[in-house]
Structure 1
Amino acid sequence: MGATMTLSLEPLGLGPREDRVYLRLVDLGSADAGSIARDLGLTPDEVRDSLRVLTERGLTHQDGLRSQRYRALSPQLALPELIRRRRADLVRLQTEADQLAQDVGSALTGGGAAVVPLVGAAAVHDMCARIQRGAEREVLMVDAPPYFDCGVQPNPSEFAALASGVSYRVVYHSEAVVAEVEREAMRGYIAAGEDARVNAQAWPKMLVVDGSIAVIPESSTHPDPERRLLITSSSIVDLLVLQFESLWERSTPVEAAGRLEPQPDADHISERDRELLMLMAGGLKDRAIARSLGVTERTVSRRIQELMRRLDADTRFRAGIRAVQEGWIAS
């Protein structure tokens, strides 16, 4: 056989390297990993890995237990059985997917289980987006760790919901606004109409829509961002709303730039100082504030002392109260 043979084993769950190794072995009849590696410009270890996978799938076999040489089974003999197995796997996967969709659909319409597990980042993202798109009145959210491996994720569904008149109240954990890009995203939501607060002890992560449906972590002791629970039980959702309201009352409001007007007789305060005071009032320590603002901890400590002096406050708590009284941050 010539070098013009082409075959893609990707539909069977194999990769381009396995394609090349299998075709080369078909061409040679039998060979060891070293000679195939030289022919294909691969390392012997890479070829051995591919041969192991191909052998497990029944496409190649060793000449003997002690032999280092491999032979390829004829495509006419090996591929039909693999294709049959793959087809059966896909049919089973479709059946399971249909059942899951039915279960989730029943939960959303009130006809199924009160608690439905969501497993995997895609399932969590899809469900959170879906219930937000169905919001009619209000969305409550606690943005807290743990996060997916890629960090805090954007929420385009929120902009669409806000534009349609749905209100959003969000409590951010300090880790949700530690980076400038994340604070900038928060400002974008606030500018679009979100009512935001910050609390260094914000917990647990949650999403509650119209007081009737919620998504929360599966475990409170070992939360996994890719394992959540969809809650439709009215009594459980009512408890989550109460927990959110309690957290909301203990959290510090975040105002959009320019939304607060300084008092006529108040000293001027920069937006940077306003942000620092907001984070401080939210319970963040100097180190977390420094990470959030991208400055050193010493700079934060020095600036807080200066602001406390200007506010004539001997404690951070009193500084927070005076900052509210002076109109520097919202109450």
Structure 2
Amino acid sequence: MDQASGLSLVEGTGPDTAVGEVLIMSADISAAAVGEFRRIAHANLRAGVPCRALFPDSARLSGAARALALAGARVRTDTEVPMEALVLDRRSVVLPAERPGASLVSFRLPGMVTATAGLFERAWRTAVPLGPSDLPESGEDEMLTARERDLLVLLCSGSTDESAAVQLGISVRTVGRMVADIMNRLGARSRFQAGAKAVDRGWLLAEAG
């Protein structure tokens, strides 16, 4: 470590460890450096260290985000995520490295740590949680989650977005996001068509019967 700059390269021999909490944020969950972030997070989760992760909305369909949630991390998503960063115990910030021979670089500069953690907390407050009902029951990514299925049943039965949001305990904004995701996955041009295609695929078989 360069004591003057507060900078060190993170070696690949083992994950860095935390005691209090691990924070992850990334706009691209598939990036190589973010894979290292996830490895560090999983190692800390196994050691009982809490972890929070913030990803873009597209990551709600990602196996990597779901794996973190199933491992015990609190995961949220938003339309935009400000940067790629890992914060350990509010004492160091790990970023993707631009130097040859290293995938990550760690900074222990108090000002940088405080600013990065602050960005995370501001984004976290308005992000949408990825909860147990957002995880696939069958383990197949193409299937509807329990919450998505409940939403589609409500909408197909004539409920408005506002009514469905109240019944499911989520925001109208989240309803809109979920409907857009479902329609995109089904290749549907309307909500009615999405419901019909879901029945055809057997996604709503139990409710349809």
TM-score band by shorter chain is 0.5 to 0.7
Q: Provide the residue aligned with 1:140 in structure 2.
A: 23
How far the C-alpha of 1:231 sits from its partner, in A, is 1.5
Are positions 1:296 and 2:187 aligned together? yes
Report the AA paired with residue 187 of structure 2.
Answer: T
Give structure 1 stretches of 5+ with no counterpart. Answer: 1-105, 220-225, 260-268, 305-331
In 2: Cα distance, 1:275 partner to 1:166 partner: 34
Q: Provide the residue aligned with 2:110 in structure 1.
A: 234
Out of 130, 147, 151, the position equivalent to 2:15 is: 130
Please provide the CA RMSD for this pair: 4.2
In 1: Cα distance, 2:85 partner to 2:126 partner: 17
How far the C-alpha of 1:126 sits from its partner, in A, is 2.7
1:1-331 map, 5 Å: 106-107=1-2, 111-116=3-8, 126=12, 130-131=15-16, 134-145=17-28, 147-148=30-31, 153=35, 155-178=38-61, 182=62, 184-217=63-96, 229-257=105-133, 270-273=146-149, 281=174, 284=177, 289-290=181-182, 294-298=185-189
Relative to structure 1, the CA distance from residue 207 to residue 253 in structure 2 (aligned partners, 3 Å threshold; closer, same or farther) is same
In 2: Cα distance, 1:138 partner to 1:233 partner: 18
How far the C-alpha of 1:213 sits from its partner, in A, is 0.7
How far the C-alpha of 1:189 sits from its partner, in A, is 1.8
Does the 8 A contact of 1:136 with 1:210 survive in 2? yes
Does the 8 A contact of 2:34 with 2:84 survive in 1? no
How far the C-alpha of 1:253 sits from its partner, in A, is 1.0
Post-superposition Cα deviations, 1:202-223, rounded to whole Å, max 9, x if no partner, equal 121111001011123579xxxx
How far the C-alpha of 1:270 sits from its partner, in A, is 3.7
Relative to structure 1, the CA distance from residue 152 to residue 297 in structure 2 (aligned partners, 3 Å threshold; closer, same or farther) is farther
How far the C-alpha of 1:146 sits from its partner, in A, is 7.7
Does the 8 A contact of 2:42 with 2:68 survive in 1? yes
In 1: Cα distance, 2:33 partner to 2:96 partner: 16
Does the 8 A contact of 2:50 with 2:73 survive in 1? yes
SS in 2 for 1:172: strand
SS in 2 for 1:201: coil
SS in 2 for 1:298: coil
SS in 1 for 2:148: helix
SS in 2 for 1:214: strand
Q: Provide the residue aligned with 1:61 in structure 2.
A: none
- Which stretch shows the higher mean deviation, 226-235 or 204-213? 226-235
Post-superposition Cα deviations, 1:171-199, rounded to whole Å, max 9, x if no partner, equal 11134344xxx2x3322321221111111
In 1: Cα distance, 2:29 partner to 2:96 partner: 9
**Larger helix proportion, structure 1 or 2?**
1
- CA radius of gyration, larger in: 1
Relative to structure 1, the CA distance from residue 300 to residue 248 in structure 2 (aligned partners, 3 Å threshold; closer, same or farther) is farther
Post-superposition Cα deviations, 1:223-249, rounded to whole Å, max 9, x if no partner, equal xxx876422101110111111100000
Does the 8 A contact of 1:144 with 1:205 survive in 2? yes
**Could you state the TM-score of these two structures normalised by the residue count of structure 1?**
0.40
Post-superposition Cα deviations, 1:24-70, rounded to whole Å, max 9, x if no partner, equal xxxxxxxxxxxxxxxxxxxxxxxxxxxxxxxxxxxxxxxxxxxxxxx
Give the share of equivalent positions with the same residue, in percent. 19
Report the AA paired with residue 115 of structure 2.
Answer: L
In 2: Cα distance, 1:170 partner to 1:251 partner: 11
How far the C-alpha of 1:153 sits from its partner, in A, is 3.4
Give structure 2 stretches of 5+ with no counterpart. Answer: 136-144, 153-164, 196-209
